[in-house]
Amino acid sequence: MRHVSDERQTLQEEISRRTREKDRELRALKKADLQLRVAQDGLEHTSGVHNKMQSMVKTVTSRHKSAQVKRRRTAGKAKLIAHS
């Protein structure tokens, strides 16, 4: 009878240990999941900012090119007028 009682105690301790391990692993998994969601949100935000900046750079670049073309045309016209 004593042997059965000892074995029962050992099994209960094993169940408690496994339950604690499972709980610890579940908490770690939840923490990792939260970190993943935060990282994904940060990446999404950064990607949006990047796309917005690319659009702005394209706009400024095209305006700059347009201004250069206008300056060349004006300089060409000024030379024609000066040589006239």
Q: What is the pLDDT of residues 25-66, one digit of tens each?
A: 999 999 999 999 999 999 999 999 999 999 999 888 888 878
Predicted TM-score (pTM) of the model is 0.60
3-state secondary structure the chain: CHHHHHHHHHHHHHHHHHHHHHHHHHHHHHHHHHHHHHHHHHHHHHHHHHHHHHHHHHHHHHHHHHHHHHHHHHHHHHHHHHHC
Domain boundaries of the chain, sorted by first residue: 1-84
Averaged pLDDT for residues 77-81: 74
